[in-house]
Structure 1
Amino acid sequence: MVDSEVKPETTGHILWSCNTAKDTWAELKVRQTDRIPPLEEFIDVLWWLREHSVVNDWEVFATVGWSLWNNRNVIRHGGQGRQGREIALEAQRYVDEFRNHMPSDLPKLQPPPTKWSLPPPNWYKINVDGAVFKEQGSIGVGVVIRNAKGEVTGAMSKKICLPLGAIEAEVKAVEEGVLLAWDLGLKNVVVEGDSLAVTQALNGVVTPAISIQKVSEGILWWLKKFDNWKILHTRRSSNTAAHVMAKEAKPILDSVIWVEDSPPAIAHQLLYDVLSMDFCPNC
Structure 2
Amino acid sequence: MTHVERCRRSLATNPYCLECNSSAETALHALRDCPAVRTLWLCILPAPLVHSLFSLNLQDWLSCSLSSAFLHPRWKISWQFLFVSLIWQIWKRRNDVVFHNPCLSDSALINRSLAWAKHYFDSVVRQLASPSVSRPVWNPRASLGSGWTYLNVDGAVSVPSHESRIGGLIRSSAGDWIVGFAKAIGRSDVLQAELWAIFEGISLAWEYGFDRLLIHSDSKQAVELVNSTTAVSSGLSLVRAIYRLRQLHWNTEVIWVSRDENHHADALAKLVSLFDFPCRYMILRLWS
TM class, shorter-chain normalised? 0.3 to 0.5
Give the structure with the larger helix fraction.
2
Larger Rg: 2
Q: TM-score, normalised by structure 1?
A: 0.48
Higher relative CO (Cα under 8 Å, sequence separation at least 6) belongs to 1
Q: TM-score, normalised by structure 2?
A: 0.47
